[in-house]
Structure 1
Amino acid sequence: MLEINSETVCRLIALAHEFHGQEAVVIPEVPDSPSGDWAVQMLADHTGDTTFQEFKSIIDDLDPDQQQQIVALLWLGRGDYSLEEWDDALQEAADAWNEATAEYLIAHPLLADFLDEGLHIHDLECD
């Protein structure tokens, strides 16, 4: 069961649409760096972007368990897990959690679609 406010997820979806809709945003499909911090490195050019800053602020203000739910929701919407495997997705998100959650999330060009689909799977939707 999703325990994060769906309005928060909907705001993140709107911000992800806005961020990825900008012409200057280019996110490689295959990371150039094998290190786990490729998303942080790639997004360094966008630190002055107000949309990115708002997105990051919302994520950073969430408790780690809420951040993990957003990541699990991304994976659910992407098809990595089914609703029946929700607890497994949450456990993997907890195991992988770090302070770069916002960067990890926004580095997915289809983030908004995946989060929206994840909400839909939970029988929730944005207005």
Structure 2
Amino acid sequence: MPNLSISSEQVCYLIVKTREFDAQDVNTDPGDSSNPSDDKMISVLEDHADNPVVQEVQAFIDALSDDEQADLIALMQLGRGDRDIDEWEALHNEAVREYVDRTAAYLLGQPLVSDYLEEGLAQFGFSCAEFESDHL
């Protein structure tokens, strides 16, 4: 079994945060200047340029080492079924070469990224169930 540079807790935290991002919808009324309470606070579910979830995910990922960022990308691709766990080193090395300089943007641009990260982590024998129950 290959070793991960990133902890399972860090991956689980990112899974929770990317689920918050995935739950948001496109900005339906970009010119709206009314009071949020008048709109029944619907804007909190919309994706805006200054989205605090995106900013939080980017800051979290930017604080990781290159190896930890590569692990995130490789976990996502492993969970998506791009390769098998036996090819972990190749996945990790490709992630370092191709994606580390834009990890947050790459991951946030992947539909179902939280599901893929969770599946990739499961292939290493980790689960986020306990983490999610403690942090939600």
- Report if TM-score (shorter chain) is over 0.5: yes
Moved over 2 A (4+): none
CA contact (8 A) 2:74 2:92 kept: yes
1:35-75 CA distance string (max 9 Å, x none): xxxxxxxxxx7441011111111100001111011000001
Alignment correspondent of 1:53: 55
Q: Which has the larger radius of gyration?
A: 2
Asked if the contact 1:47–1:53 (Cα under 8 Å) also holds between the matched residues in 2, the reply is: no
Question: Using a 3 Å threshold, how does the CA distance of structure 1 residues 102 and 46 change in structure 2: closer, same or farther?
Answer: farther
Give the counterpart of 1:21 among 20, 23, 30: 23
State the SS of the aligned residue for 1:99: helix
> How many residues were matched structurally?
108
Higher RCO, Cα 8 Å, sep 6+: 1
Q: Residue 22 of structure 1: CA displacement?
A: 0.8
TM-score (norm 1): 0.80
Q: Is the 8 A contact 2:15 2:118 kept in 1?
A: yes
Residue identity over aligned pairs, in percent, reads 40
* Further displaced range: 106-115 or 1-10: 1-10
Tell me which of 96, 100, 103 is aligned to 1:101.
103
Q: Which runs of 5+ in 2 are unaligned?
A: 28-46, 131-136
RMSD, aligned CA: 1.4
